[in-house]
């Protein structure tokens, strides 16, 4: 398999089918790639979508990758994201982590209602709970050893800003369905493209740059006039893009050919 002149090399499948990109796939053992494929990987100016399998190794080797290593490291990691936001001074709801021996301290620090989340792999609104009483807290704690507790900021909508190489590709409101505090589309939330506030988009953009997350959907809430970053989603879905008639693969291709992913 030989790449054409000016071809780009990808490992993950996100750009499969794009004529300018040669997608090699992700193999668990580097030596499973043919000698020519290994030469292409190690000689490429940039490796696209290396996946977590290879992002750290390529970064250590000094290779440019897209998305960034941080984009992979903080994916589906609410605890790590919260710590990063706190260290960078990014506005984020008051949040604390409680290991099993300290679960009894939760009600010393928080009053009902508050939000509790399963710290890992709780995407699409699953594993996110509004806790209104002790019984609900006990039910949540039965599911986890590490409790992720966050202040509840009343809201009926949040703002999703999709950024590709730190530039906004799409922004939209996610509006919760009646009786559900979650705005996730998979939980019945609705999309609106009306009156997108530039302050929210700018907050998302600045936060993504600080965190070095360059292929991400940032979720924000405006509460009492202040923007709060809730979390970063690396699997940010396609429904909003489709509703606006946008194709993510074509967006990425355009930025790639324009040199905007480098």
Count of beta carbons in the 10 Å neighbourhood of residue 25: 12
Confirm whether 27 is domain-assigned. yes
What pLDDT is attached to residue 122? 65
Give the span between the Cα atoms of 169 and 108, in whole angstroms.
Answer: 42
Confirm whether 262 is domain-assigned. no
**Token pair for 101:** 């021996």
Same domain, 247 and 166: yes
Last residue of a domain, one of 103, 133, 151: 151
Confirm whether 162 is domain-assigned. yes
Same domain, 222 and 166: yes
What pLDDT is attached to residue 3? 44
pLDDT tens profile 29-56: 999 999 999 999 999 999 999 999 999 9
Same domain, 57 and 143: no
What pLDDT is attached to residue 123? 60
Same domain, 62 and 40: yes
Please tell me the total count of domains within the chain: 3
What pLDDT is attached to residue 159? 97
Give the span between the Cα atoms of 145 and 83, in whole angstroms.
Answer: 18
Mind spelling out the 3-state secondary structure of the chain? Answer: CCCCCCCEEECCHHHCCCCCEEECCCCCCHHHCCHHHHHHHHHCCEEECCHHHHHHHHHHCCCEEECCHHHHHCCCEHHHHHHHHHHHCCCCCCEEEECHHHHHHHHHHCCCCEEEECCECCHHHCCEEEECCHHHHHHHHCCCCCEEEEECCCCCEEEEEEEECCEEEEEEEEECCCCCCCCCHHHCCEEECCCCCHHHHHHHHHHHHHHCCCEEEEEEEEECCEEEEEEEECCCCCHHHHHCCCCHHHHHHHHHHCCCCC
The residue segments making up the domain with residue 120 are 94-151
pLDDT digit of tens for each residue in the chain (262 aa)? 444 445 899 999 999 999 999 999 999 999 999 999 999 999 999 999 999 999 999 999 999 999 999 999 999 999 999 999 999 999 999 999 999 999 999 999 999 999 999 998 666 667 999 999 999 999 999 999 999 999 999 999 999 999 999 999 999 999 998 878 887 776 678 999 999 999 999 999 999 999 999 999 999 999 999 999 999 999 998 899 999 999 999 999 999 999 998 8
Give the span between the Cα atoms of 127 and 123, in whole angstroms.
Answer: 8
């Amino acid at each position: 398999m030989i790449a054409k002149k000016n071809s780009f090399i990808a490992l993950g499948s996100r750009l499969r089918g794009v004529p300018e990109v040669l997608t090699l796939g992700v193999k668990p053992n580097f030596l499973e790639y043919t000698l020519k494929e290994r030469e292409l990987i190690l000689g490429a100016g940039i490796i696209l979508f290396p996946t977590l399998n290879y992002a750290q190794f390529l970064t250590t080797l000094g290779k440019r990758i897209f998305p960034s290593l941080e984009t992979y490291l903080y994916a589906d990691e609410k605890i790590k994201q919260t710590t990063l936001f706190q260290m960078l001074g990014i506005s984020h709801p008051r949040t604390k982590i409680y290991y099993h021996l300290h679960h009894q301290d939760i009600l010393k620090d928080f009053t009902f209602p508050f939000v509790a989340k399963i710290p890992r792999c709780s995407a699409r609104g699953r594993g996110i709970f509004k806790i209104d009483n002790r019984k609900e807290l006990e039910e949540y704690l039965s599911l986890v050893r590490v409790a992720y507790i966050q202040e509840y900021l009343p809201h009926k909508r949040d703002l999703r800003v999709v950024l590709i190489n730190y530039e906004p590709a799409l922004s939209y409101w996610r509006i919760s369905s009646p009786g559900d505090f979650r705005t996730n589309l998979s939980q019945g939330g609705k999309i609106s493209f009306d009156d997108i506030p530039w302050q929210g988009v700018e907050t998302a953009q600045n936060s993504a740059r600080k965190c070095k997350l360059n292929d991400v959907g940032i979720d924000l809430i405006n509460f009492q006039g202040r923007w709060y970053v809730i979390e970063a989603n690396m699997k940010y879905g396609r429904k909003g893009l489709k509703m606006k008639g946008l194709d993510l693969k074509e967006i990425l291709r355009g930025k790639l050919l324009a040199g905007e992913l480098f």
